[in-house]
């Protein structure tokens, strides 16, 4: 019995040591990034995105809970009042200034996904459920209500233009004027599935811009995390980053296996790869979130650091929106809300 027990104990000890060692290596490779505090507490469940306007105010696209959809109390009961999407506007100290629409009207915003603000203060809202783009003047009045099908992302461009991503488009990015006229489209779709409808779904992404006029498209479902850069005027592809490192290979393999299920007629539930994306408009550094792994890249696509993000309460922070500021990051999640993080710096720590 002793001859059998001793090798067994030794094997268990070796396995335990290997598990502990692997955990230590993983922790050293992905140091944690902990939130300093929660900001804009009015935004929680229903949060979509946050942007900062030229006036220095913060614009938060979210849904208010039943019973609190507007500045004026509703006469209907809370149970009969559905959640209402609005844009909440805060000053730098987190004080709510106002909301847009001030008095939400039926059908004005159905279920918006994205917003942006141009240099004049106009607010652009992409509403895929309503098949519209709503544009508000700086004072909150409705400037335009355009029919553009299934717009999922939006950024304002110079010259009274804006770019969108559309779920049913043959290109990644479409550019329109303020009258809703399509000016041009660009960005080839990735070829991920023989099923045309599924391939469109898998080409969804995050859209961002910088001050140099570069548009950034980060694929949400491409198995290898991929970011493309386009010239916003010509539509030319300027650069592409595709992460094929060994540490990300299991994630990519799992995503491809799920996509392959479509060939056998089984229901497919695509794995979200890049959950959140943000760009520093001045330095052209960008951040992408793979779950709660937050990765930072310089303007030459060199990976600078990777951190596991956690809220101030210790919850895993999987951001669907990243606002990059000079001295901090604002990461937003539905339903956790918006948290302030330090800008990650340094390099990834490796095991000795």
Q: Compute, in degrees rounded to 10, the torsion defined by CA atoms 324, 328, 333, 338.
A: -120
What pLDDT does 1 receive?
40
Q: What is the pLDDT along the chain (352 residues), one digit of tens a residue?
A: 444 444 444 444 444 444 344 344 444 457 999 999 999 999 999 999 999 999 999 999 999 876 554 444 444 444 445 688 999 999 999 999 999 998 878 789 999 999 999 999 999 999 999 999 999 999 999 999 999 999 999 999 999 999 999 999 999 999 999 999 999 999 999 999 999 999 999 999 999 999 999 999 999 999 999 999 999 999 999 999 999 999 999 999 999 999 998 878 888 899 999 999 999 999 999 999 999 999 999 999 999 999 999 999 999 999 999 999 999 999 999 999 999 999 965 334 333 3
Predicted TM-score (pTM) of this structure: 0.86
| Structure tokens, 127 | 């509403």
The whole-number pLDDT of residue 36 equals 96
Is 171 contained in some domain? yes
The CA dihedral of 328, 238, 289, 245, to the nearest 10 degrees, is -130
Is 262 a member of any domain? yes
Tell me how long the chain is: 352
Q: Tell me whether residue 155 is in a domain.
A: yes
Position 101 in a domain: yes
Within a domain: 259: yes
| CATH label of the domain that carries residue 117 | 2.120.10.30
Distances (CA, A) of 220 to 48, 132, 205: 15, 22, 5
Q: Supply the pLDDT for residue 64.
A: 82
Residue ranges in the chain assigned as alpha helix (H): 2-29, 196-202, 249-260
Q: What is the C-alpha separation between 31 and 35, in angstroms, rounded?
A: 13
Which domain does 91 fall in, by range?
Answer: 33-341
Provide the pLDDT for residue 82: 67
How many independent structural domains does the chain possess? 1
* pLDDT score recorded for residue 61: 98
DSSP class per residue in 25-87: HHHHHS-EEE-SEEE-TT-BTB--EEEE-TTS-EEEEEEEPTT-SSSS--SS-GGGPPPEEEE
Asked, for residue 13, whether it belongs to a domain, the answer is: no
In 3D space, the residue among 312, 295, 313 whose CA is nearest the CA of residue 304 turns out to be 295
Dihedral sign, Cα of residue 143, residue 146, residue 152, residue 156? negative
pLDDT of residue 299: 95
Q: In this structure, how many other beta carbons lie within 10 angstroms of the beta carbon of residue 173?
A: 23
- β-pair type (32-34, 303-310): parallel
């Amino acid at each position: 019995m002793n001859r059998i027990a001793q090798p067994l104990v030794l094997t268990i000890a070796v396995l335990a040591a290997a598990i502990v060692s692997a955990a230590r290596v993983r922790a050293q490779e992905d140091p944690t990034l902990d939130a300093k505090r929660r900001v804009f507490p009015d935004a929680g469940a229903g949060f979509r995105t946050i942007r900062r306007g030229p006036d220095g105010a913060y614009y938060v696209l979210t849904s208010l809970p039943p019973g609190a959809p507007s500045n004026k109390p509703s006469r209907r009961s809370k149970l009969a009042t559905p959640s209402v999407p609005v844009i909440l506007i805060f000053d730098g100290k987190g004080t709510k200034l106002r909301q847009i629409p001030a008095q939400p009207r039926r059908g004005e915003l159905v279920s918006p996904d994205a917003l942006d603000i141009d240099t004049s203060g106009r607010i652009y809202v992409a509403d895929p459920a309503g098949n519209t783009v709503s544009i508000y003047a700086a004072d909150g009045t409705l400037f335009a209500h355009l029919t553009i099908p299934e717009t999922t992302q939006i950024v304002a461009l110079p010259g009274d233009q804006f770019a969108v991503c559309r779920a049913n488009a043959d290109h990644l990015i479409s550019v329109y004027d303020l009258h809703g006229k399509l000016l041009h489209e660009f960005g080839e779709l990735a070829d991920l599935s023989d099923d045309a409808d599924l391939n469109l779904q898998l080409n969804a992404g995050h859209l961002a811009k910088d001050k140099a006029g570069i548009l950034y498209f980060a694929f949400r479902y491409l198995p290898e995390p991929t970011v493309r850069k386009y010239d916003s005027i010509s539509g030319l592809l300027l650069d592409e980053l595709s992460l094929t490192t060994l540490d990300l290979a299991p994630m990519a393999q799992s995503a491809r296996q799920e996509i392959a299920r479509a060939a056998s007629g089984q229901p497919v539930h695509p794995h979200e790869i890049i959950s959140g994306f943000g760009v520093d408009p001045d330095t052209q550094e960008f951040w992408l979130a793979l779950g709660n792994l937050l990765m930072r890249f310089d303007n030459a696509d060199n990976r600078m650091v990777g951190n596991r993000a956690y809220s101030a309460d210790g919850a895993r922070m999987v951001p669907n929106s990243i606002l990059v500021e000079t001295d901090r990051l604002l990461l937003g999640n539905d339903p956790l809300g918006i948290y302030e993080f330090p800008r990650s710096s340094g390099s990834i720590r490796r095991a000795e």
